[in-house]
Structure 1
Amino acid sequence: MVQFALAYVLFMTAHVVPAAPRVRGLAVHMLGRGAYLALYSLISILLLVWLIAAARNAPTLSLWPLTPELGAVPLVVMPLALTLVVAGLSQSNPLSVSFRDRGFDLSRPGIVAVTRHPVLWGFVLWALSHVAVNGDVVSVALFGGLALYAAAGLGLADKRAKSRLGLDRWTSLAAHTSILPFAAVLAGRARLAVDRPTLAAILVGLAFYVWFLAGGHLWLFGADPLIYLRS
């Protein structure tokens, strides 16, 4: 439990401290936005792997039984979550987290037509789907906390984008997308089209999904995602 608490504190610290405008601004100025996001993502992934491993080694206090139905939840949700993360990081998106903030074209918004925060929504879906299949106190605290943190980032990302782009530019771009996935499409403010970058992101996301099922998840986290369906 001590290792889990330490990993949790370090993971949250690594996300809260860089979120401070002065710290983030200095880091982006020194490294460049792309390099900063790449380094930030790498550190986040390493800390997340450690955090999940520590959670698995912590004492277990079950809150609900694990069933094949609950085990199927992440199997259904994760293809979408992975696609959102891959597309969000790889496609140009000046409104949110992305490795590319230049070259955005409103006539070809890609994943931004679905939501202006695809990466954050990908993490929300990932975390919530893992709450369902990990019904113990530590896992609920872990994945539930991560889901809340990612959800809280939606408003924070809008605030940062407004500051970076200016209110007029942000308003003109945000008018053609939405925070809630598919809300702008349903309202007629955005047109959903699977262009080449989006299709590539879907294929890469599915490749990651297949790799996880084929042993990647077991290798990284010591858990077989198909075990509940085999029992």
Structure 2
Amino acid sequence: MAALVLGLVLFLGLHSTRIFAEGWRTQTMESFGEKEYKLLYSVLSVAGFALLVWGYGLARHNPVILWNQPPVWTRHLASLLTLAAFVLLVAAYVPGNAIKAKARHPMILGVKVWALAHLISNNTLADLLLFGSFLVWAVLDYRAARRRERTLATVIDAGPLSRTILTVVVGVVAWAVFAMWAHRVLIGVSPLGR
């Protein structure tokens, strides 16, 4: 469990600088140089992510059960929520789509939805630590991002309907591939119960 906690602290800690230490982040970037800062940030982020994935895998070998197995319907709800999370994730990268214009920060919202989906359908201490931490982080990060956005008066163009349709189609296809194949291969669990 220590590796999972250390990975979460490193990964989410780095990703929290804009929430808690915007001034420090700006000063550090200026003193290191933007490229150097981003390189170090990326290397440490990958290390933190690898550590939390490894730690979560280790914790799953000897799980600490917190409550009875959630009902089957929570797994179905989680699948629907992760479908929405995939569409939100894609919306962050497709320029000029209405989902991004409305949600403002679709990737962060996608993380919120993904974390909530996994919290309701799992029952171990490792699940609570991993998904609970990401949910709390996403709530705080979304609030900070909206605050920055109001200060800058950012406007996001909704673009043509075709971009929004493309966003939804790519998100649904990515979710289907992950739910029907990749989740089992990478995580060892089939979310659709196959």
TM-score (normalizing by structure 1): 0.66
Say which SS state the counterpart of residue 103 (structure 2) adopts: coil
Check if 1:157 corresponds to 2:145.
yes
Alignment equivalent of 2:60, drawn from 56, 63, 83: 56
Distance of 1:5 and 1:67 partners within structure 2: 27
Hey, what does 1:198 align to over in structure 2?
164
Distance of 1:74 and 1:7 partners within structure 2: 24
The structure carrying a bigger helix percent of its residues is 2
Alignment equivalent of 1:70, drawn from 71, 74, 79: 74
Q: Report the residue type matching 1:64 in the other structure.
A: N
Distance of 1:198 and 1:53 partners within structure 2: 36
Alignment equivalent of 1:30, drawn from 29, 34, 38: 34
Say which SS state the counterpart of residue 135 (structure 1) adopts: coil
Check if 1:115 corresponds to 2:103.
yes
Equivalences, count:
186
Q: Does the 8 Å contact 2:108/2:138 carry over to 1?
A: yes
Hey, what does 2:22 align to over in structure 1?
21
Check if 1:144 corresponds to 2:144.
no
Hey, what does 1:213 align to over in structure 2?
179
RMSD: 3.3
Deviation at 1:3, TM superposition (A): 2.2
Q: Report the residue type matching 1:203 in the other structure.
A: V
Deviations 1:200-221 (Å, cap 9, x if unpaired)? 2212211211111222012222
Hey, what does 1:91 align to over in structure 2?
95
Q: Report the residue type matching 2:89 in the other structure.
A: V
Give the unaligned 5+ runs of structure 2: none
In percent, how many aligned pairs have the same letter?
25
Higher mean alpha-carbon deviation, 57-66 vs 78-87, is at 57-66
Deviations 1:99-138 (Å, cap 9, x if unpaired)? xxxxxxxxxx622343222111111110001001111222
Give the unaligned 5+ runs of structure 1: 93-108, 177-191
Which consecutive segments of 4 or more residues in structure 1 shift more than 4 A?
A: 26-29, 44-48
Distance of 1:27 and 1:58 partners within structure 2: 41
Distance of 2:61 and 2:105 partners within structure 1: 33
Deviations 1:145-168 (Å, cap 9, x if unpaired)? 2111101112210233345x3xxx
Distance of 2:9 and 2:142 partners within structure 1: 22
